[in-house]
């Protein structure tokens, strides 16, 4: 696993590099925005980026904006490291695409936990289950725009065939489907792994209400028609 570390403070840089080296990550160091962009423009792939908010030539917010607007890099998960940890700084970092935030001085155990979580989730796949191909296509478009991989299933039975608890990070399912319905699929998935969140997205309840669905183990419930940002926000909350 290769990580790009964008940091100009020598103490923080040493702490992070020593911690990541011990965990057997390959660390590429950039002391400025220009160096970071040069490394990104090279032919090496990075599994994650760790960057500070303040750096020579460009602040971290500008760097995050640069990453977010570049299709080559906007799928790489970013962890922000900063002494500034007021709500405004944290929220602005997240709004500009950062997946997590850690406060200086860096705690080695917290750093490793967060970077493992970031990389693990960035490789997870979202399983979309709906018998309506147009709805599957819409949900696929929404979540892939956010940088996630997807698998599609047109039925609960097919979803269970595709389900792999090591690779699936989230299931988004319709409720009413021919054969195995969403509620039955939900229960089957939770029997396999209670850790994997299931988001039910439905327009018709056929006797089921939100309480029934949540009581059965669903981690979220959205009714159609929905707004695209609603789906994106829920997905980000579940996976990060």
What are the structural domain ranges in the chain? 2-121, 125-239
Q: Which fold has domain 125-239?
A: Rossmann fold (3.40.50)
Picking from 63-72, 115-124, 131-140, which range would have the lowest pLDDT averaged per residue?
115-124
Cα 59 to Cα 25: distance, rounded to the nearest angstrom: 26
Alpha carbon of 228 to those of 144, 161, 186, 222: distances in Å? 12, 28, 23, 11
Tell me the HSE value of 164 on the side-chain side, using a 13 A CA sphere: 7
Q: Is the pTM of this model over 0.85?
A: no
**pLDDT tier at 139, thresholds 50, 70, 90:** very high
- In this prediction, residues 45-53 reach a mean pLDDT of 90
Does 219 have pLDDT greater than 80? yes
Q: Token pair of 120, please?
A: 């693990």
Give CA–CA dist 97/85, Å, rounded.
Answer: 16
Q: Between residues 222 and 212, which one has the greater pLDDT?
A: 222
Residue 56: the pLDDT is: 66
2-121 and 125-239 share one CATH topology?
A: yes
3-state secondary structure of 125: strand
Q: Mean pLDDT in the chain?
A: 88
Q: Say which CATH superfamily domain 2-121 falls into.
A: Response regulator (3.40.50.2300)
Question: 80-105 pLDDT, tens per residue?
Answer: 998 877 888 888 888 888 989 999 99
The whole-angstrom separation of Cα 16 and Cα 198 is: 35
pLDDT of residue 110 exceeding 70: yes
pLDDT of residue 151: 94
Identify which of 149, 127, 116, 147 has the alpha carbon closest to the alpha carbon of residue 196.
Answer: 127
Question: What pLDDT is attached to residue 189?
Answer: 95
pLDDT exceeds cutoff 70 at 240: no
Chain Cα centroid distance, residue 109: 21
Pair 30, 53: CB distance under 8 Å: no
pLDDT, tens digit, 9 for 90 and up, residues 9-29: 899 999 999 999 999 999 999
pLDDT digit string, tens, across residues 157-205: 999 999 987 789 899 999 999 999 999 999 999 999 988 999 999 886 5
Q: Please, what's the b/e burial string for 6-44 (b: 16 or more CB within 10 A of its CB; e: otherwise)?
A: bbbbeebbebbbebbeeeebebbebbebebbbebbeeee
In the DSSP assignment, the letter for residue 29 is E
* Two tokens, residue 225: 């028609």
**Is the pLDDT score of 206 beyond 70?**
no
Structure confidence at residue 70 as a pLDDT band (50, 70, 90): confident
pLDDT of residue 43: 66
Distance between CA 206 and CA 133 in Å, rounded?
A: 21
Cross-strand pairs, 127: 151, 171
């Amino acid at each position: 696993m290769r990580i790009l570390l964008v940091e100009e403070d020598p103490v923080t840089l040493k702490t992070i590099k020593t911690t990541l080296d011990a965990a057997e990550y390959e660390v590429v160091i950039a002391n400025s925005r220009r160096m970071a962009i040069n490394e990104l423009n090279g032919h090496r792939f990075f599994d994650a980026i760790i960057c500070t908010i303040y750096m020579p030539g460009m602040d971290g917010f500008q760097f995050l904006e640069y990453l977010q607007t570049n299709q080559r890099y906007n799928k790489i998960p970013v962890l922000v490291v900063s002494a500034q940890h007021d709500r405004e700084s944290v929220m602005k970092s997240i709004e500009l695409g950062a997946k997590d935030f850690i406060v200086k001085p860096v705690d080695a155990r917290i750093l490793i936990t967060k970077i493992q979580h970031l990389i693990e989730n960035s490789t997870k796949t979202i399983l979309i289950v709906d018998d309506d191909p147009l709805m599957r296509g819409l949900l696929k478009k929404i979540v892939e725009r956010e940088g996630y991989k997807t698998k599609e299933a047109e039925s609960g039975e097919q979803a269970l065939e595709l389900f792999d608890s090591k690779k699936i990070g989230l299931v988004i399912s319709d409720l009413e489907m021919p054969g195995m319905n969403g509620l039955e699929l939900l229960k089957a998935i939770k029997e396999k792994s209670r850790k994997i969140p299931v988001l039910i997205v439905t327009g018709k309840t056929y006797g089921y209400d939100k309480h029934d669905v949540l009581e059965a183990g669903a981690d979220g419930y959205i009714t159609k028609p929905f707004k695209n940002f609603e789906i994106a926000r829920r997905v980000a909350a579940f996976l990060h």
